[in-house]
Amino acid sequence: DVEYTTRLCFACGEDNPIGLKLKPVYDGEKVWAEFTAGKFYQGWNKVVHGGILYTLLDEITAYAILCYGIDFGVTAKSEVRFKHLAPINEPIQISAWVTRLTKRLVETTGVLALKDNTIIAEGNSLFYVWRQSKKTILWDLDGVIADSASYHFAAWQETFAKSGIKFTWTDFTKLFGARNDFIIREVMEDKVSEEDVKAIIEAKENSFRKGIRGNVKPFPGAIKLLNTIKKGNFKMCLVSSAPRENIDLLLGELGMKEYFNCIVSGREVMESKPSPQIFLLATEKCGVQPEDCIVIEDSPLGVKAAKAAGMRCLAVTNAHSKEELAQADRTVDSLEKVDLITLIQRV
């Protein structure tokens, strides 16, 4: 069987010992990268071979259409105009962007330039759209998009104190990401009736909503990444253990109600994270398969749920250490370090 992988790609493969090892980045408008050719990539003496220059343009252009939600495109036409020699051992800046997109065709423009903005080459390409991407991004809310953990902790601490229970930050972080009833039974060791659980949840949520209203702030990088994904026509689903009332409040405060194709709240499933139920329900709502999904989480319980659902997972160390989130496919300390290409190809 043929393994479809980019690891040995001549242009971007990390494991190709003679490859170009391009690391493209998408800034929401263009895909760009930088490459410095050594002596093994020259044609004429001390001049980069034209075939290498075309490869640079072609590769970054391919990433440009990928960032518009096209999983696979076939080159119909490619035109390159060479304008200046490219010396070896000097950085070459590569950029490409989509200029027109229909259901069947994509048109792109690409540029190679030196650091002083001297244009080396310009290119225009036309692609047939062969397959739209099925990739779907599943977002947690609290601790990933909304910086709300301290408000949840204060509300739990106040509510449990009324029952004579000391609730510490360590207790909170172990359970953050779980559904309210799960947290209560873990803390009170099942010595609580169903009616008491409902009353405690109501008290906690009233306290939380009172504290968070008007004080909601997004984590750095979250809004930019959301905008980039939305522009790329990828499906997004919000998957949160929180009650729907909390979700609507936070999304309203942040102005994000129109970002998501679907929303799944904790009350829609029988089991709390780390059960995969909530993520599997999200796939049903979005009409995708688990293997098409990438989950963005911040809690060990959420990471376990995502992996149990058969999904890839990016974890952000906003409230937990990298070691605590080790089960994730990739961890970062801020979403500011994540662009669309990193998310869909390197998680």
Is the peptide bond prior to 274 cis by the omega test (within 30 degrees of 0)?
A: yes
Are the CB atoms for 203 and 184 separated by under 8 Å?
A: no
The CA distance from 330 to 142, in Å, is 19
Low-confidence ranges of the chain (pLDDT < 70): 1-5, 190
Cα 334 to Cα 144: distance, rounded to the nearest angstrom: 9
Q: Specify the CATH number for 134-347; select among 3.40.50.1000, 3.30.70.270, 2.60.40.10, 3.40.50.880.
A: 3.40.50.1000
How far is residue 243's CA from residue 247's CA, in Å, rounded to a whole number? 7
- pLDDT at res. 14: 86
Give the whole-angstrom CA distance, residue 31 versus residue 231: 13
Q: Tell me if 60 sits within 8 A of 78, measured CB to CB.
A: no
Which of these, 30, 28, 50, 52, lies nearest to 108 by C-alpha position?
A: 30
Instruction: Yes or no: say if 235 and 165 are a contact pair by the CB < 8 Å rule.
Output: no
What are the tens digits of pLDDT across the range 12-26? 888 889 989 999 999
DSSP string for residues in 12-31: T-TT-TTS-----EE-SS-E
- CATH level 3 topology of 25-132: Thiol Ester Dehydrase; Chain A (3.10.129)
pTM of this prediction?
A: 0.86
Q: Can you give the pLDDT at residue 129? A: 87
Where are the chain's structural domains?
25-132, 134-347
DSSP assignment of 175-228? HTTS-HHHHHHHHHTT-S-HHHHHHHHHHHHHHHHHHHTTT--BPTTHHHHHHH
